[in-house]
Amino acid sequence: MRRFSANLGFLWTDRPLPDAIRAAKAAGFSAVECHFPYAIPAAQIMAALTETGLPMVSLNTRPGAPGEFGLAALKGRETEARAAIDEALAYAAATGTGAVHVMAGKHGDEATFRANLAHACDRAPDGVTILIEAINAHDVPGYHLTTQAQAAETVTALNRPNLKQMFDCYHVGRTEGDIAATFRAHRSQIGHVQFAAVPDRGPPDQGRVDYARLLPQLDWPGFIGAEYRPNGATEASLDWLPRLSSC
């Protein structure tokens, strides 16, 4: 039985985050994850998580100014980047969240990125994983990481046990070809998996990737994050959930 996490950055965005957590539980998700929860006091999120029994899998550091997509790789922005990291780690600790995705930003500097990631790894509470993600160049031109190989190089260079890479099947499918082969090549360094339809990032039962066939090929026992854009109401996009849960 596969376990899916509802990414509330895209799903149930028509309601406050605590209510989106409750909606995910009612729909049959096993966990939730989010993008930027900081406008909501952590105590309110923790209350909704406790009420529903759902864990929070991950959250992101703040993305910076509109269009920046993160701060951690931006030379000269170290103070802001580390403040965003510390804020995210504190929020994760207060909500029992398992991972923090440190957003790199565009046109970054690798030495700066690594120094800020080392800060994140040093500050992370026990049990909290630091994630980095390669984002395809069609969606975010100029993002610091565009391939799993680049993310793996960063993880390898830092050699921290609490630093892992996010493997988003959508981003890999858009630009890197064989999703299953790419997953196998980086399996030991993967800390979270996400998916959506390729190429439009719609519900995962659409597009050119057959997830009923792909998911059994992935050696992944953890939650799989549903980070897709529904075509209308989220509830109307969930036909895939019972089918893929049993594949």
Q: Which is the catalytic residue, given 78, 80, 153, 227?
A: 227
* Long-range residue pairs from 137-143, CB within 8 A, at least 24 positions apart, any chain: 137/175, 138/174, 138/175, 139/171, 139/174, 139/201, 140/69, 140/106, 141/106, 142/106, 142/107, 143/69, 143/104, 143/105, 143/106
How far is the CA of 205 from the CAs of 32, 86, 237, in angstroms?
20, 37, 9
Does the active-site annotation cover 80? no
Say which DSSP state 189 is in.
G
pTM: 0.98
Q: Which is the catalytic residue, given 78, 133, 153, 235?
A: 133
Provide φ and ψ at 110, rounded to 5°: -65, -40
Does the active-site annotation cover 227? yes
Quote the pLDDT of residue 247: 85
Structural domains in the chain plus CATH codes: 4-245 (3.20.20.150)
- List per-residue pLDDT tens for the chain, 247 residues long: 899 999 999 999 999 999 999 999 999 999 999 999 999 999 999 999 999 999 999 999 999 999 999 999 999 999 999 999 999 999 999 999 999 999 999 999 999 999 999 999 999 999 999 999 999 999 999 999 999 999 999 999 999 999 999 999 999 999 998 999 999 999 999 999 999 999 999 999 999 999 999 999 999 999 999 999 999 999 999 999 999 999 8
Token output for 237: 């996009």
Quote the pLDDT of residue 137: 96
**CB neighbours of 92 closer than 8 A, spacing ≥ 6?**
56, 59, 98, 99, 100, 125, 128
**CB neighbours of 106 closer than 8 A, spacing ≥ 6?**
67, 68, 69, 70, 140, 141, 142, 143, 144
Tokens 């170290």 identify what position?
78
Question: Which has the closest alpha carbon to 155: 134, 125, 179, 124?
Answer: 134
Let me know: does 151 contact 190? Beta carbons within 8 Å: no
Radius of gyration of the chain (CA): 17
